[in-house]
Amino acid sequence: MNLDSKDPKPKKKFIGFIFAWRGIVEVYKTERNFRFHVAAAIGVVAAGFLFDVTRLEWAVLLTIIPLVMALEMINSSIERVMDYLSPERDPLVGMIKDISAGAVLVASIFAVLIAILIFLPKMISFSWPW
Ligand X SMILES: Nc1ncnc2c1ncn2[C@@H]1O[C@H](COP(=O)(O)OP(=O)(O)OP(=O)(O)O)[C@@H](O)[C@H]1O
Contact residues: ligand X, CB under 6 A: 79, 86, 89-90, 93-94, 97-98, 101
Alpha-helix residue ranges (DSSP H) falling in 1-130: 15-30, 32-50, 55-85, 91-124
Closest contact distance (angstroms) between CB of 98 and ligand X is 4
Choice between 33 and 45, CB closer to ligand X = 33
Choice between 62 and 77, CB closer to ligand X = 77
Closest contact distance (angstroms) between CB of 63 and ligand X is 26
Closest contact distance (angstroms) between CB of 107 and ligand X is 16
Q: Look up 26 and say whether it is catalytic.
A: no
Alpha carbon distance 87, 105 (integer Å): 25
Closest contact distance (angstroms) between CB of 74 and ligand X is 13
CA dist 82 → 13, 48, 61, 75 (Å): 29, 38, 32, 11
Residue nearest to ligand X (CB): 94
Alpha carbon distance 24, 66 (integer Å): 12
Choice between 62 and 93, CB closer to ligand X = 93
Which among 26, 31, 57, 72 is annotated as catalytic? 72
Choice between 2 and 86, CB closer to ligand X = 86
Q: Do residues 86 and 93 make contact, with C-beta atoms less than 8 angstroms apart?
A: yes
Alpha carbon distance 19, 23 (integer Å): 6
Q: Which residues are catalytic?
A: 72
